[in-house]
């Protein structure tokens, strides 16, 4: 199953009109959550910053994309471009700590536990957060086009955006087409699942 099939969503009749600065913008700007810090970007702002960073990355790392480096190399360089857009936050790759604990998620149903544990250690590709706090802004998983092994990516994005221990405001799954030097897929997560409206907004920002 390809990327689009694996991420198929029901749009509930929603259509982005013109560009991402349209009707949805006001909705996201008024999104408020009393449990988050006052300077936590709203989802629309987070996506806007990440989209700008991703476009700079694709322009600035053309030589890296041409040689087909591995996904870890790509995510590291992408994180470098994200950093300046989140100056008061930490941008980390494969960071698996929450304060003094190791980040983990419950094993999917049907999978036998290993070493007598019912959890799996997770290493998200990129996170925007504040170390040693519970302030978690964005979690990003990256795949190269042609790599359809996204099951664990989806589990991480769902688990890390759902209400509870991590509760990242936004999750993103990005697919990079190295040959075309562009993104070929973007899916947004919020509240523990794919968010159809946020995904359409993200596509307009990242791929428009």
pLDDT at 172 over 90: yes
pLDDT value of position 185: 98
Dump pLDDT digits (tens) for 116-137: 344 467 789 999 999 989 899 9
pLDDT at 105 over 80: no
Comparing CA positions, the residue from 143, 167, 141 lying closest to residue 43 is 167
pLDDT value of position 140: 98
Using a 10 angstrom Cβ sphere, with 0-12 exposed, 13-18 middle and 19 or more buried, the burial of residue 99 is exposed
pLDDT value of position 18: 44
Per-domain residue ranges of the chain: 3-7+39-207
Q: Rounded distance, CA 180 to CA 59, Å?
A: 11
Q: Which residues of 101-128 are buried (b: 16+ CB within 10 A; e: fewer)?
A: eebbbeeeeeeeeeeeeeebebebbbbb
Per-residue confidence band for 176, with pLDDT thresholds at 50, 70 and 90: very high
Tell me which fold the domain 3-7+39-207 belongs to.
Answer: tt1808, chain A (3.90.1570)
What mean pLDDT do residues 1-30 have?
Answer: 43
The Cα diameter of the chain in Å comes to: 53
Comparing CA positions, the residue from 124, 36, 141, 130 lying closest to residue 88 is 130
Q: Rounded distance, CA 115 to CA 112, Å?
A: 10
φ and ψ of 7, to 5 deg: -105, 20
What mean pLDDT do residues 87-106 have?
Answer: 68
What mean pLDDT do residues 92-114 have?
Answer: 54
| Of 172 and 31, the one with more pLDDT | 172
């Amino acid at each position: 199953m390809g990327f689009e099939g694996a991420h198929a969503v029901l749009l509930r009749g929603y259509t982005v009109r013109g560009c991402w600065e349209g009707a949805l913008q006001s909705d996201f700007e008024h999104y408020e959550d009393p449990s988050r810090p006052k300077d936590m970007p709203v989802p629309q702002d987070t996506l806007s910053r990440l989209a700008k960073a991703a476009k700079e990355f694709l322009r600035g790392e053309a030589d890296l994309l041409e040689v087909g480096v591995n996904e870890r190399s790509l995510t590291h360089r992408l994180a470098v471009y994200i950093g300046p857009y989140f100056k008061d936050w930490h941008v980390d790759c494969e960071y698996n700590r929450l304060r003094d604990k190791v980040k983990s998620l419950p094993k999917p149903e049907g999978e036998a536990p290993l070493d007598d544990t019912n959890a799996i250690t997770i290493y998200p590709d990129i996170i925007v957060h504040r170390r040693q706090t519970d302030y978690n802004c964005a979690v990003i998983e990256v795949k190269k086009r042609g790599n359809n092994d996204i099951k664990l990516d989806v589990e991480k994005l769902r688990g890390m955006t759902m209400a509870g221990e991590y509760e990242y405001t936004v999750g993103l799954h990005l697919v990079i087409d190295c040959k075309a030097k562009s993104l070929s897929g973007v899916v947004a997560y919020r509240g523990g699942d794919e968010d159809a409206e946020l995904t359409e907004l993200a596509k307009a920002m990242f791929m428009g």
